[in-house]
Amino acid sequence: MKNKLIYFAFAFIAITIFSNCNPKMVINQVTYVEYNQDLLTLRVFGAGKKEKGAMENVCLTAINNVLFRGIPNSNISDPLVGLDEKEAYQKYPKYFDSFNKEKRYMNFITSTTLYTEFTKEKGLTNVTLDVKINITSLRKDLENNGVIKKFGF
């Protein structure tokens, strides 16, 4: 309950402040929910021009946080890739090109559940989803493609 209150307070303040700065600027928010049997569940707020774009944005935000930022207070507190995002894209362009442009990141998302309904604001569709990511499969894919070293080697 306390986490939900903090989340909503932060979301309200961030949206209020930043919506006055730039109407097209969207702050994506990621909150840890649970980690259960290789599945990490994150609650993610995002936006897009349409519902599909908003959902894709939310999923990519969730994956990028796992890869490059880590998820505080979870089993994935350290980022899987560990390099900064720009460096990783330069070092492994082929991998991240297909990962993003071909939406391969969706292979690691086992489910998405609406946490809030879609809303329209200033020409954008906003949504908050609970996103489940198969961390074991994502880590194995990164290892098989040489982006990260195999665990224990």
Tell me the residue length of the chain: 153
pLDDT digits (tens, 9 = 90+) for 89-112: 999 999 999 999 999 999 999 999
Residue 74 and residue 36 in contact, taking contact as beta carbons nearer than 8 Å: no
Contacts of 116 (CB under 8 A, 6+ apart): 45, 126, 127, 128
Residue 44 and residue 58 in contact, taking contact as beta carbons nearer than 8 Å: yes
Dihedral of CA atoms 126, 73, 132, 68 in degrees, nearest 10, equals: 80
DSSP SS3 for 130: strand
Residue 98 and residue 91 in contact, taking contact as beta carbons nearer than 8 Å: no
pLDDT digits (tens, 9 = 90+) for 13-61: 444 434 444 444 456 799 999 999 899 999 999 999 999 999 999 999 9
Angle at 78 between CA 76 and CA 80, to 5 degrees: 80
Q: For the full predicted model, state whether its pTM sits above 0.85.
A: no
Query: In whole angstroms, what is the distance from residue 122 CA to residue 24 CA?
Result: 7
